[in-house]
Amino acid sequence: MTLQRILVTGGAGFIGSGFVRYLLETYPDVHVVNFDKLTYAGNFDNVKDVDPARHTFIQGDVADFDAVRQAMEGCDAVVNFAAETHVDRSIMGAAEFIDTDVKGVHNIVEAARVLETERVLLVSTDEVYGSIAEGQFRETDPVGPRNPYSASKAGGELMGMAFHHTFGVPVIITRGSNTYGPYQYPEKVMPLFITNALEDEPLPLYGDGKNVRDWLYVEDHCSGVDCALRKGAPGEVYNIAGGNERENIELTHKILELTGKPESLIKPVTDRPGHDRRYALNADKLKALGWRPAMDWEEGVARTVEWYTDNRWWWEKIKSGEFKEYYKRQYESR
Ligand code: NAD
Ligand code: DAU
């Protein structure tokens, strides 16, 4: 299967922009069509350094079927990263999550059905399984989302698989674990805590700080998606996990150590409603196709802290814009 022209939806976001760079660096003949709405989380700065001769950027909404179909025309594959992605925002209001994460995915698989696109990869999340006290989720486990964001992602997944079974659309799904690295919007815990520490602001730690996430470096998430795209089978789901389970409090200590800031910056705050206690994934199915995560946890966090330290130009303008209003609504009364 030769994939030469690839539509990447959500390619101006955190992981999507990493995937655009990954494709262009790994495959000299690939041309990327990057379709992104540029919501508060989308940022053209994330792809401003890629070769414009091999990268076509279209500002558009996956909830707009005609725009999606037009962008997909002539593409061999589509990889969907476009989503509303922040759990706390989904708790404040879920309507946009349904528009993008469910309706948007429907538009993508419907356009792929009409255009007979060779591969459709839907990027999803470990959150669709819900929380697990012990052991690890496998792809055969049932989904049980517990917050509006993960419910919207599960809705998109189910629609995608329904299009595979009903119409033969070649849909593959990946479920990635918590991803970190450069260019992540500073509402997520890792960049929020790093940038707050750099500004000597408190780090608002939810609940008892003992919730567990399995951390995956952004380039490893991208190589996992690419592996599933090229070697995976239509109709199948593949977990992508970093294998780095950490309690939030441990992550917080590590960030303070690396930024050289005091423990007194930790501010315990009211827990997130419906806060999933632990995520853990078994990624053997993708590993059987040859994928391996390459980044060591300690090095990955150190590199991430270094990137935010060296690239204040990237996040300072974000934190002074829409973010301020969001931060106030989210944290003021906690
Ligand atoms: P992000 O919030 O950084 O970026 C999302 C991108 O989608 C932005 O560029 C935004 O402008 C774009 N977008 C949003 N709505 C759109 C719409 N209606 N039409 C077109 N574009 C739209 O997200 P991210 O963290 O890079 O996540 C990318 C994907 O990976 C998402 O599908 C998410 O569910 C999934 N995922 C994320 C993680 C994680 O830890 N960040 C882990 C597993 C899976
Ligand atoms: O697991 C994959 C998911 O990871 C992705 O699908 C989501 O798009 C992504 O946002 C992420 O979801 P989480 O809810 O796990 O990520 P977040 O960074 O919001 O929170 C990580 C942990 O840190 C979680 O246990 C809540 C906690 N937290 C978060 C914030 C923002 C805090 O303690 N304080 C905070 O201020």
- Check pocket membership of 189 for ligand 2, CB cut-off 6 A: yes
Tell me how far apart the alpha carbons of residues 172 and 229 are, in angstroms, rounded to a whole number: 7
User: Mutation test of ligand 2: which of 86, 178, 249 has the most ligand atoms closer than 8 Å to its C-beta?
Assistant: 178
Closest ligand 2 atom, CA of 153? 6
Average pLDDT in the chain: 98
**Whole-angstrom distance, CA of residue 174 vs CA of residue 252:** 28
CB 123 near ligand 2, within 6 Å: no
The H or E element containing residue 5 is strand 5-9
Q: Is 211 in the pocket of ligand 2 (CB under 6 A)?
A: yes
In order, the DSSP letters of 158-217 are: HHHHHHHHHH---EEEEEE--EESTT--TTSHHHHHHHHHHTT--EEEETTS--EEE-EE
Residues 211, 215, 218, 219, Cα dihedral to 10°: -170
- How far, in Å, CA of 220 to CA of 6, rounded? 19
- Strand, coil or helix: what is 48? coil
Let me know how many helices (H) and strands (E) the chain has, helices first. 13, 13
Sign of CA dihedral 158, 163, 164, 170: negative
Ligand 1 pocket residue status of 79, Cβ below 6 Å: no
pLDDT in tens, 37-85: 999 999 999 999 999 999 999 999 999 999 999 999 999 999 999 999 9
Are 69 and 114 contacting, i.e. CB atoms less than 8 angstroms apart?
yes
DSSP per-residue string spanning 84-112:
---HHHHHH--HHHIIIIIIHHHHHHHHH
Whether residue 171 has pLDDT greater than 90: yes
- Assess whether the C-beta atom of 107 lies below 6 angstroms from ligand 1: no
Burial class (CB in 10 A: 0-12, 13-18, 19+), 280: buried
Q: Is the predicted pLDDT of residue 225 greater than 90, yes or no?
A: yes
% of the chain beyond a pLDDT of 90 = 98
pLDDT value for 144: 98
> What's the 274 CA to ligand 2 centre distance in angstroms?
12
Residue 321: is its pLDDT beyond 90?
Answer: no
- Asked if residue 248 has its Cβ within 6 Å of ligand 2, the reply is yes
Cα separation of 43 and 321, whole Å? Answer: 13
CA of 211, closest atom in ligand 2: 25
Q: What is the DSSP string of 234-291?
A: TT-EEEE----EEEHHHHHHHHHHHHT--GGGEEEEPPPTT---B--B--HHHHTTT-
DSSP H or E run through 35: strand 31-36
Q: Is 222 in the pocket of ligand 1 (CB under 6 A)?
A: no
What integer pLDDT is reported at residue 51 of this predicted model?
Answer: 97
Q: Which fold has domain 180-213+244-273+296-320?
A: UDP-galactose 4-epimerase; domain 1 (3.90.25)
pLDDT over threshold 90, residue 322: no
Ligand 2 pocket member 40 (CB < 6 A): no
Question: Which residue numbers are catalytic?
Answer: 126-127, 149
Give the ligand at the shortest distance from the Cα of 124. 1
Q: How many CB atoms lie within 10 A of CB 327?
A: 17
Among protein residues, the one with the nearest Cα to ligand 2's atom 20 is 189
What average pLDDT does this structure show over 191-202?
Answer: 98
Query: Could you identify the atom of ligand 2 that is nearest to the CA of residue 206?
Result: 33
How far, in Å, from the CA of 72 to the mean position of ligand 2?
32
Dist CA 174 CA 187 (whole Å)? 23
Cα 18 to Cα 118: distance, rounded to the nearest angstrom: 23
Q: How far is the CA of 14 from the centre of ligand 1 (A)?
A: 7
**Residue 130: per-residue pLDDT:** 98
Q: What CA dihedral angle connects 291, 229, 156 and 37, to 10 degrees?
A: 110
Probe target for ligand 2 pocket from 152, 213, 218, 330, with the most ligand atoms within 8 Å of CB: 213
CA-to-CA distance for 75 and 79, rounded, in angstroms?
Answer: 11
In the prediction, which pLDDT does 264 show? 98
The pair of structure tokens assigned to 8 is: 């990447």
Could you state, in order of their start, the residue ranges of all structural domains in the chain?
5-179+216-240, 180-213+244-273+296-320
Q: What is the CA radius of gyration of the chain?
A: 19
More confident call, 2 vs 242: 242
pLDDT at position 1, please?
80
Q: Taking the domain 5-179+216-240, which CATH number applies?
A: 3.40.50.720
